[in-house]
Chains A and B, each alone.
Chain A
Amino acid sequence: MIRISGLHKAFAGNAVLAGIDATVAEGKIVALLGASGSGKSTLLRCLNGLATFDAGTLEIAGFALRPGAHEPRTLQALRARVGMVFQEFHLFSHLSVLDNVTLAPRVARGTARAQAEAHAHELLAQVGMAERAQALPRELSGGQKQRVAIARALAQGVSVLLLDEPTSALDPELREEVREVLRRVARGAHSASGTALTILLVTHEHALAHELADEIWTLSAGKIEGVLRLGSSPAG
Chain B
Amino acid sequence: MQGSGELGWGADLQGGEPYVYESPTQPGAIIGFEVEIAEALARELGVRAKFHQNDWSNLVPSLERGDFDIALNGLEDTPARRARLRLSRPYFVYGETLAVRAGSALHTLAELRGRRIGTLNQTVAQDLLQAEHAEVVLYEGQQEPYMDLSRGRVEGVLLDHVIADRYGCGQPGLVCVKQDLARGTYVIGMRPADVELFARVDGALSRLIENGELRRILEHWRLRDARQEELWTRLPVAAPSASPSSRTLSVAQLGLFFRGALITILISVCAFAFALPLGVLLAVTRSHGGRVSRFLATAYVELFRGTPVLLQLYVLYYGLSSLVRLGPIQAAILGLGLNYAAYEAEVHRGALAALPRGQAEAASSLGLSRYQVLRHVLLPQSLRIALPALTNDFVALLKDSSLVSVITVVELTKRMTIVAVELRDWVVPGLLCAAMYFALSFPLSRLSLWLERRYQSA
Contacts and interface: CB of A to CB of B under 8 A. Distances in A.
Interface in B376-391: 376-377, 380-381, 384
> Most chain-A Cβ atoms within 10 A of its Cβ — which of B356, B364, B370?
B364
Contact of B361 (A83, A86, A108, A138): A86
A152 B366 contact: yes
Interface in B275-318: none
Contacts of B193: none
B311 to A, nearest CB: 40
A86 B368 contact: no
Interface stretch (A24-32, A72-80, A120-128, A189-197): A72-80
A77 B367 contact: yes
Contact of B366 (A72, A94, A108): A108
A153 B362 CA distance: 9
Contacts of B358: 86, 88, 90
Contact of A79 (B356, B366, B455, B458): B366
Contacts of B147: none
Contact of B380 (A77, A83, A94): A94
B364 A108 contact: no
B365 interface: yes
Nearest to B358: A90
Contacts, number: 67
A50 B361 contact: yes
A104 interface: yes
A69 to B, nearest CB: 13
Nearest to B383: A94
Given A90-B358, A94-B380, A79 B369 contact: no
Interface in A156-210: 156
A48 B132 CA distance: 76
B370 A138 contact: no
A104 B381 contact: no
B365 A93 contact: no
A107 interface: yes
A76 to B, nearest CB: 5
A130 B370 CA distance: 30
A153 B366 CA distance: 7
A153 B377 CA distance: 16
Nearest to B455: A94
B367 A104 contact: yes
Interface string A86-105: 10101111100000000110
B359 A79 contact: no
Chain A's interface size range is 20 to 34
B363 interface: yes
A89 B458 CA distance: 18
Contacts of A50: 361, 364-365
A90 B362 contact: yes
A75 B368 CA distance: 9
**Secondary structure class of chain B's binding surface, majority of residues:** helix
A86 B361 CA distance: 10
A103 B365 contact: no
A84 interface: yes
B368 A90 contact: no
A76 B373 CA distance: 12
Given A94-B380, A94-B381, A138-B458, A104 B361 contact: no
A91 B358 CA distance: 9
Contacts of B455: 94
A107 B376 contact: yes
Nearest to A104: B366
Contacts of A75: 364, 367
A187 B372 CA distance: 33
Nearest to B457: A138
A193 to B, nearest CB: 25
B381 A108 contact: no
A48 B362 contact: no
Contacts of A78: 367
Contact of B372 (A84, A93, A108): A108
A90 B366 contact: no
- Listed residue (B361, B366, B380, B381) with the most chain A CB atoms within 10 angstroms of its CB: B366
A86 B362 CA distance: 8
Contacts of B359: 90, 92-93
Nearest to A139: B458
Contacts of B384: 94
A48 to B, nearest CB: 6
A76 B362 contact: no
Interface string B251-282: 00000000000000000000000000000000
A94 B375 CA distance: 13
B364 A93 contact: no
A96 B358 CA distance: 17
Name the residue in A48, A50, A92 with the highest tally of chain B Cβ atoms < 10 Å from its Cβ: A92
Contacts of A107: 368, 372, 376
Contacts of A153: 366
A72 B373 CA distance: 13
A83 B376 CA distance: 19
B367 A92 contact: no
A93 B372 CA distance: 16
Contacts of A104: 366-368
Nearest to A152: B366
Contact of B365 (A72, A79, A94): A79
Nearest to A108: B367
A92 B377 contact: yes
B189 to A, nearest CB: 64
B370 A103 contact: no
Nearest to B366: A104
B29 to A, nearest CB: 66
A61 to B, nearest CB: 12
Nearest to B379: A94
A79 B372 contact: no
A84 B368 CA distance: 13
A168 to B, nearest CB: 14
Interface of A: 48, 50, 72, 75-80, 83-84, 86, 88, 90-94, 103-104, 107-109, 138, 152-153, 156
15 contacts: A50-B364, A72-B369, A72-B370, A75-B367, A76-B368, A80-B366, A88-B358, A90-B358, A90-B362, A92-B359, A94-B384, A94-B455, A103-B368, A103-B377, A108-B369
Ranked nearest first, the 5 interchain pairs of A and B with the lowest CB-CB distance are: A90-B362, A104-B366, A79-B367, A90-B358, A80-B367
